[in-house]
């Protein structure tokens, strides 16, 4: 059979697939660790990690091994029956993150929808909010997925255009604005506050150091659930097990340092919960919140399936065994220092921001310009894959298994590209 080229494969997708994405024109065939290869055999550094899903590196042998072993034995029972993998996973993941209960789902958006449902039901049954009156506070610039309910509270015009009517019950406030949160909490029937600890899709917007802790205090004082969407920031990406851990110094495991850690009432996880090997997401909460969910009220045929359970355990064990949070913390500091050094010698980049190995550079051009995308195309030609967000921001998020030597090689590629680039 004739080997299809990248051009051939892109053409096939264009003809037969919905045009709901605009990928960089590289067709990948294989991945291992921090590297991927295209169909022509060219090697690249992956500096996106499938939007932080591949924190443990591509095709991690322990994770893939767990998936294959379980797939050979039992893949799916639905939740009509028990299986021998789900219970041990539920015990493992709740103890790992320090919660009483977990509700397993598949995708990040599903998990966010689940958290919204739990929050609303808790508000009616525990807080006493009148039926159908619950409101959830969200932040401008948020990205929680693209389901109908989620885009209802997005302020991205592309995500919303011609998808209405939208779901009511949400109040939008500026991100990183405690005064706005305090004011919103004064309204009647507030059930929860849904927030990304760091806004990834918005361009790696890191809030003030005290923002999350004070937001939680405000929520607690008002009897409102604090809901942390850690689908992108969780699982060691930011140099801590969770972004709600703050700028911590924990070693190997989450120590929940009271000086930095903020305990969510509901925690949402996805992406790297499986190391990118399989769709796995989770909503975690303590009994007082999770006990409002009863049989028949929420679920998923695939949620908590045996393969997902085994994969997630292996993925989290890799995080611990390979000290990925510590590595992300250390390399992230090096990376931002190097970017700041590069920035001093160019007017093409305004700033770098981030935490751990979730970082972004701000391109000195408008959001509707092609400059950031053009830079990413040049980076691709030089052997590094990244994608812009919000037009003039390039997000850099390599797998957390990266070594310092590999990171410095990537820094050299970025520096070379920027030095040669002309708007």
Domain 61-321 in the same topology as domain 6-56+324-420: no
Q: Which of 403, 410, 409 is nearest to 394 (CA)?
A: 410
pLDDT of residue 192: 98
Secondary structure of 67-119 in the HEC alphabet?
Answer: HHHHHHHCCCCCCCCCCCCHHHHHHHHHHHHCCCEEEEECCHHHHHHHHHHHH
Q: Please give the span between the terminal C-alpha atoms of the chain, in angstroms, as a whole number.
A: 42
pLDDT of residue 173: 98
Residue 132, judged by CB atoms within 10 A of its CB (0-12, 13-18, 19+), counts as: exposed
pLDDT digits (tens, 9 = 90+) for 188-214: 999 999 999 999 988 999 999 999 999
CATH number for domain 6-56+324-420, candidates 3.90.1150.10, 3.40.710.10, 3.30.2350.10, 3.40.190.10: 3.90.1150.10
CATH number for domain 61-321, candidates 3.40.640.10, 2.30.130.10, 1.20.140.10, 3.90.850.10: 3.40.640.10
Per domain, the residue ranges of the chain are 6-56+324-420, 61-321
**Residues that are catalytic:** 143, 229, 271
**pLDDT > 70: percent of the chain:** 99
Ordered per-residue pLDDT tens for the chain, 423 residues: 578 999 999 999 999 999 999 999 999 999 999 999 999 999 999 999 999 999 999 999 999 999 999 999 999 999 999 999 999 999 999 999 999 999 999 999 999 999 999 999 999 999 999 999 999 999 999 999 999 999 999 999 999 999 999 999 999 999 999 999 999 999 999 999 999 999 998 899 999 999 999 999 999 999 999 999 999 999 999 999 999 998 877 766 677 888 889 999 999 999 999 999 999 999 999 999 999 999 999 999 999 999 999 999 999 999 999 999 999 999 999 999 999 999 999 999 999 999 999 999 999 998 889 999 999 999 999 999 999 988 899 999 999 999 999 999 999 999 999 998 876
Q: Is the dihedral of CA 244, 248, 252, 258 positive or negative?
A: negative
CB count within 10 Å of CB 182 equals: 15
Helix or strand holding residue 361 (H, E): strand 358-363
């Amino acid at each position: 059979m004739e080997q299809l080229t990248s051009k051939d494969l892109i053409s096939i997708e264009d003809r037969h697939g919905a045009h709901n994405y605009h990928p960089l024109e590289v067709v990948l065939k294989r991945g291992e660790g921090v590297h991927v290869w295209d169909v022509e055999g060219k090697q690249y550094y992956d500096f996106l990690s499938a939007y932080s899903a591949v924190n443990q590196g591509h095709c991690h042998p322990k994770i893939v091994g767990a998936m294959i072993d379980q797939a050979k034995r039992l893949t799916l029972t639905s939740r009509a029956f028990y299986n021998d993998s789900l219970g041990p996973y539920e015990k493992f993941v709740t103890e790992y993150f320090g919660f009483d209960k977990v509700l397993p789902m598949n995708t990040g958006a599903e998990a966010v929808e689940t958290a919204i449902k739990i929050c609303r039901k808790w508000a009616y049954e525990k807080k006493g909010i009148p039926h159908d009156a619950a409101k959830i506070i969200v932040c401008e610039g948020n990205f929680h997925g693209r389901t109908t309910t989620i885009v209802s509270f997005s302020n991205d015009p592309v995500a919303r255009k011609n998808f209405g009517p939208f779901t009511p019950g949400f109040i939008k406030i500026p991100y990183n604005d405690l005064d706005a949160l305090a004011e919103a909490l004064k309204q009647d029937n507030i059930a929860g506050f849904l927030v990304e600890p760091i806004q990834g899709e918005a361009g790696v917007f890191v809030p003030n150091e005290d923002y999350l802790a004070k937001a939680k205090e405000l929520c607690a004082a008002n009897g409102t659930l604090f809901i942390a969407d850690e689908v992108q920031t969780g699982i060691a990406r930011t140099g801590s097990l969770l972004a709600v851990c703050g700028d911590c110094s924990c070693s190997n495991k989450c120590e929940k340092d009271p000086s930095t850690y903020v305990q969510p009432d509901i925690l949402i996880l996805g992406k790297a919960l499986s190391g990118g090997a399989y769709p796995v997401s989770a909503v975690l909460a303590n009994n007082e919140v999770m006990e409002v969910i009863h049989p028949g009220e929420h679920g998923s045929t695939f949620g908590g399936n045996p393969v997902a359970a085994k994969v997630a355990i292996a993925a989290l064990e890799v995080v611990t065994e390979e000290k990925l949070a510590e590595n992300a913390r250390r390399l992230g500091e090096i990376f931002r220092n190097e970017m700041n050094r590069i920035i001093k010698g160019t007017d093409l980049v305004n700033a770098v921001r981030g935490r751990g190995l979730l970082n972004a550079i701000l391109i000195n051009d408008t959001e509707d310009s092609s400059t950031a995308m053009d830079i990413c195309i040049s980076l691709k030609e030089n052997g590094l894959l990244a994608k812009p967000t919000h037009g003039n921001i390039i997000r850099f998020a390599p797998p957390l298994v990266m070594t310092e030597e590999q990171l410095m090689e990537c820094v050299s590629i970025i520096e070379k590209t920027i030095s040669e680039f002309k708007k």
